A and B are shown apart, each in its own frame.
Chain A
Amino acid sequence: MGLLGKTKAELAKYATVLRSSGKENSELNDDFEPVVVREKTEKKKEEGPVEMTACSSCKKEISTSVMKKNLCVCPECGAHNKISAARRVRNMVDPGTFRKLKCKVPFVNPLDYPDYEEKITKLQEKTGLEEGVLIGVGEIHGQKAMIAVMGSEFLMGSMGIAVGEKVTYAFEVADKNKLPVVMFTASGGARMQEGILSLMQMAKTSAAVQRFSDHGGLYVVCLTHPTTGGVSASFATLGDITLAEPGALIGFAGPRVIEQTIGQKLPEGFQTAEYLEEHGFVDQIVPRSEMREVVGQILKLHERKRWPL
C-alpha cells in the first residue's frame, strides 16, 4: 500500500482533505442518490420447475417464492432464515422513499491478502451490494430515518474499512440532519483479511455512535442472525433501543471457541436472542412480520419535542 513510508505530516494532510470533504451546509439531497433496491437474483425469471429452498432450521423444502413472500420466515416452523439486505430494506421502508447514502469507499487491501480483490469483486456482482452494509434514507410509516442494513450474504457481513467507513459516515450525516438511525446488524465480526485496521473500525464506529448520541440522536438497533465478534462489541450493542429477531445468534466469542475454552458443551439456546433477553441485553424480541410496525412505533414515540417544551 502507498501508505508505507509516509511522514506524519503527509498523513495529517490526507486526513484534512477527507475532513473538509464533509459538506457542512449541504442539502440532504446531496448526500443521497435514488436507487432501485432489488436483489440480483430477482432479475432472472425462468420458466420451469418451481424453485425450492430448504429451511435452515426444520430443513423442509419450501417453494422459494412462498419463502420470499413470507420474508424468509419458514411457514412450517417459523424459523427466521437469512434475508438479503435489499429485501430487508424493501420490507422496512414505505414504497419509493429509499435513497442510498452516497459513500463510495475504494477497495483496499492493507495486508495484501491473496485473492482478496477477486473475492470482493465476485461478491459485488453476486449480491448487488457495494459492501457488507446497505445504507440510505427512507421513510417508515411516514417518518424519515437513516436506515442501515448489514448483508450477511456479503462475506458474512464482516466489518472492514468499507463497512466501518459507511456506518461512521451514516451516523455523521444523520447527526447533521437530525435523523434517527435504524440499524439491522448481521455480521461474523471484524474482517480478518484487513487485519488491525478492521479492529480499529470498532473504535471508529463506536465513537461516531457516541457523538451522535451525545447530540441527542435516537439509535434503534435490531440484532439479526448472526451478530457476533467485532460488530457485536461495537455499534451493534450501543443502541438506545435494542430489538432482536427470534432465534438470532448474538454474542462476542463464537460457540465453538467457548466450548474449546471451557471444555464442556454449551447449554441449549446459549447466545440466542431469547437468551440475551433473559439476561437483560435486549428490549424486545420482534418477529420479522411485525418489525416495521414496531420500529414505526418507536420512531413515533420519539417524534415529539422533548419535555419540558
Chain B
Amino acid sequence: MMREIDEKLRAIEAEIEELSAKTDDYAADVRVKELKSEKKKLLRQCDNLTPADKVFLARSIKRPKIDDYINALFDDFFVQRGDFLNKEDKSIYGGIAMFHGTPVTVLGHRKGRNINENLEFNFGMPEPEGYRKALRMMKQAEKFGRPVITFIDTPGAYPGLEAEQHGQANAIAKNLAEMSSLKVPIIAIVTGEGSSGGALAIGVANSVYMLEHAVYSVLSPEGFASILWKDSNRSAEACDLMKLTAQDLKSYNVIDGIIKEPLGGIQQNPNKVYREIDALLQTELAKYKKMTPNELARNRYDKFRYMDAAIIEAAKKEN
C-alpha cells in the first residue's frame, strides 16, 4: 500500500514544486492549494501500516541520513576517518561533537541521497574496516569519557570477497565484545533499516531506540525468505512473520522505546523528530550521568544477558 501512496505523493510534490516556482499566477496558487489538501488526504491513509509498508518506508531514499542527524542535533562536529589499519570505509560516518555542551562521539551507517552517493558509501554496508573504525572511535570515547551515540541504518554487512579476506566475522565479533564492556554510556537509535550483524555491530548499547517506522531484524526479509524457503520473492510473507517493527521489538524487550514519526514518515517533518530525539538524548544522558563507569558496563551486560529472560521464564511456566 505504502508504495502506491508514495508514488502519488511524489507526483504531487513534484507538481507543487513546479507550480511554486511561478509567481503571481492565481491559477497556480489555486492548484497548489488543491494539491496540498490531496497530499493531506493521502498522508492520513498512512496511519495503519503493515510490516511490509514499514520496510518500504524504512528504506526510503528520502529519509534523513546520518549527516542530517548530526547537523540537526550536534555542534562543532569534527569528522574522523579511517581504521588506522587498512583503509577508510565510507559506509560508516562519525566523529566528535558537542551535545548541549557535552562532548560526545557520534557515528553511524551512511547511506546516500542518490545513486552516486550510494555507490560511494556502499549503500551503508560496512566492510571490516568500517567496524574497526567505529571501534577505534568508541575506544577513544572511553579514554576521554565521552558518551557514544550511534545511528543504525544498514541493509547489513557487505558480502564481498575482500570483506571476508579482511576478517568480517572477527571485526563484528570484536565490536560486540568490546562494546559490551565499554565504560561510557552508549545510546543507539535505529533510524532506517537495521539488518543483521552489520547493524548489531554498532548496536550493543545501554539504551536502544527506534524511529516509529524503522525496522530491525536478524536479516533482510529477502535474505530470510531466501534462507528458509529458498525464494527471496516471498519477502512480503517474511515481513509479516519476522516481527521486525518497532512496536513488535518493544514488546520483545529488544528496544527501550519508540520515537514517533509524522504521518507518512519522518521526511514529512524531520525537524519535529529531531526535537524529540534531542529531548530523548538529554534525558538518557542525564540518567547515565549518575552511573559509575563500571555500573555502565554492568548495566549494558545485564541488558543483553537478560533480554530474553522473560521469554525463557514464560516458556518454563508453560511447560
Contact = CB atoms under 8 A, between A and B. Distances in A.
A107 B315 contact: yes
Nearest to B159: A253
B160 interface: yes
A202 B308 CA distance: 13
B252 A106 contact: no
* Interface size classification for chain A: 35 or more
B230 to A, nearest CB: 11
B180 A14 contact: no
A113 B315 contact: no
A3 B173 contact: no
B200 interface: yes
Given A192-B227, A253-B159, A266-B161, A211 B254 contact: no
B157 A253 contact: yes
B168 A252 contact: yes
Nearest to B176: A206
A281 B172 CA distance: 14
Interface in B151-182: 157-161, 163-170, 172-174, 176-178, 180-181
A41 interface: no
B176 A202 contact: yes
A309 interface: no
A15 B201 CA distance: 24
Given A18-B313, A199-B218, A233-B197, A238 B304 contact: no
Contact of B251 (A5, A206, A233): A5
A204 B204 CA distance: 9
A262 B160 contact: yes
Of A211, A214, A275, most B-chain CB atoms within 10 Å: A211
B17 interface: no
Contacts of B48: none
Contacts of A206: 173, 176-177, 180, 204
Given A199-B196, A235-B173, A190 B310 contact: no
Nearest to A242: B170
Looking at B216, B309, B316, the one whose CB has the most chain A CB atoms below 10 A away is: B309
Contacts of A284: none
A279 interface: yes
B313 A17 contact: yes
Nearest to B223: A257
A252 B177 contact: no
B243 A203 contact: no
B173 A237 contact: yes
Contact of A14 (B159, B160, B305, B309): B309
B204 A105 contact: no
Given A6-B310, A238-B174, A257 B159 contact: yes
B307 interface: yes
Interface string A179-206: 0000000000010111111111011101
Given A11-B253, A168-B305, A190-B218, A236 B161 contact: no
A252 B313 contact: no
B176 A207 contact: yes
B310 A3 contact: yes
A18 B301 contact: no
A280 B251 CA distance: 42
25 contacts: A3-B251, A14-B309, A15-B306, A18-B306, A18-B309, A19-B309, A106-B319, A168-B305, A195-B217, A195-B243, A196-B242, A202-B172, A206-B176, A207-B204, A208-B305, A210-B181, A214-B181, A233-B172, A233-B201, A238-B174, A253-B163, A262-B161, A266-B161, A270-B164, A279-B165
Interface of B: 157-161, 163-170, 172-174, 176-178, 180-181, 196-197, 200-201, 203-204, 216-219, 223-224, 227-228, 241-244, 249, 251-254, 300-302, 304-319
Given A194-B218, A200-B308, 6 more contacts: A18-B306, A195-B244, A202-B197, A211-B180, A253-B157, A262-B160
Closest 10 CB pairs of A and B: A207-B180, A253-B159, A206-B176, A15-B306, A232-B169, A233-B172, A2-B314, A210-B177, A106-B315, A14-B310
